[in-house]
Amino acid sequence: MTALLVAVGGAAGAVLRYLVHRLWASRTAFPWATFAVNVAGSALLGLLTGVTGAAQALLAVGLCGALTTYSTFGFETVELINRGQAPRAVGYVAATMVAGFGAAALTLHLR
């Protein structure tokens, strides 16, 4: 049953990530879509810290696991560097780290 909950949450997170990328990806040279899903996922995971059982499997592992994307973050950072946009790549990494950790800390504090 737990694996099914993770799968359902993962499917929802993957579709949500896809929709955010479709909405944003072609409109800007900065990887805002990945930034947004990673920060939103960090905030949601901060809120979900401490949940157990079905909610943990469905939301924390499934939804947040599929919504956030470290591999795309890494790929887009390297792409920015390859396009000669190293300062933008550094800004992207710094902004993602600060916003992601900040969102998680804020929502941990709010719960």
Binding-site annotation: residue ranges: 65, 68
Binding residues for Na(+): 65, 68
CA nearest neighbour of 6 among 68, 41, 46, 55: 55
Task: Quote the DSSP letter at residue 49.
Answer: T
Q: Name the token pair of 52.
A: 């157990």
Within a 10 A sphere around the Cβ of 33, how many other Cβ atoms? 23
